[in-house]
Structure 1
Amino acid sequence: MSENTITQAVDNIFLDLGFSSEEADNLLIRSQLILALTHQIKERGWTLDQTAQHLQQSNDRIKALTQGKIGQFSVDILIAMLNKVGMTVKVEICPKVA
């Protein structure tokens, strides 16, 4: 039998997936915004049509959002959508940990 080795992941899974530091940071931010937005949609119990209407987006765009298709959404768009559901976004800037 071979031993299983467990490797501790870094705080940003996108780094573990091989993305550059800059791209990993951007993906992490967008994924957190998408999670917060989809949480708000679920909390409200909105249907696809209701969500599209409230966020002023197409049904296809909302479907992509709920499927976590990060590449289709910029930080700006996600913040605007969060504002439309009554949320605000705060940014925390921290020094890099070596």
Structure 2
Amino acid sequence: MTLEYSNIFDAITEDKAEASELQTRSDLMIVIRDIINAKNWSQADAAAQLGLTQPRVSDLVNGRIEKFSIDKLMTCLYRIGFRFKPAFADNQLTMAVEAVTTN
């Protein structure tokens, strides 16, 4: 018997909406971790840029998904210069990523 999941979080919850939220949080955390690594930031540098404490950055880069909401992760991305811009037209939902200037 082989189990197959399109979303790994489907394996831990029967609630499809919860699995989707967990996957989204995971995806956002991975992107933020990749940005931190690409910029060669220490956890202290990342904390200053993201508006978090260093222990919270440690939680983020170590994948402690239960510690972060989508809202918090979106705020972190904004603080380092990115914003998601959803649009709906012609029965199509699209999502663009815009660069933003933060000060």
Output the TM-score relative to the length of structure 2.
0.76
- 2:42 is matched with 47
Higher relative contact order (CA 8 A, sep 6+): 1
Instruction: Pick the structure with greater CA Rg.
Output: 1
Q: Which deviates further from its counterpart, 19-28 or 41-50?
A: 19-28
Q: State how many pairs are aligned.
A: 89
Q: CA RMSD in A?
A: 2.0
Q: Give structure 2 stretches of 5+ with no counterpart.
A: 88-92, 94-103
- Write the mapping of 1:1-98 to structure 2, written as runs, cut at 5 A: 5-7=1-3, 9-91=4-86
From the superposition, tell whether residues 34 and 91 of structure 1 become closer, same or farther in structure 2 (CA, over 3 Å). farther
C-alpha separation in 2, matches of 1:58 and 1:19: 34
C-alpha separation in 1, matches of 2:19 and 2:86: 16
Query: Percent same amino acid among aligned pairs?
Result: 27
**2:68 partner letter:** F
Output the TM-score relative to the length of structure 1.
0.80
From the superposition, tell whether residues 19 and 72 of structure 1 become closer, same or farther in structure 2 (CA, over 3 Å). farther
C-alpha separation in 2, matches of 1:39 and 1:54: 14
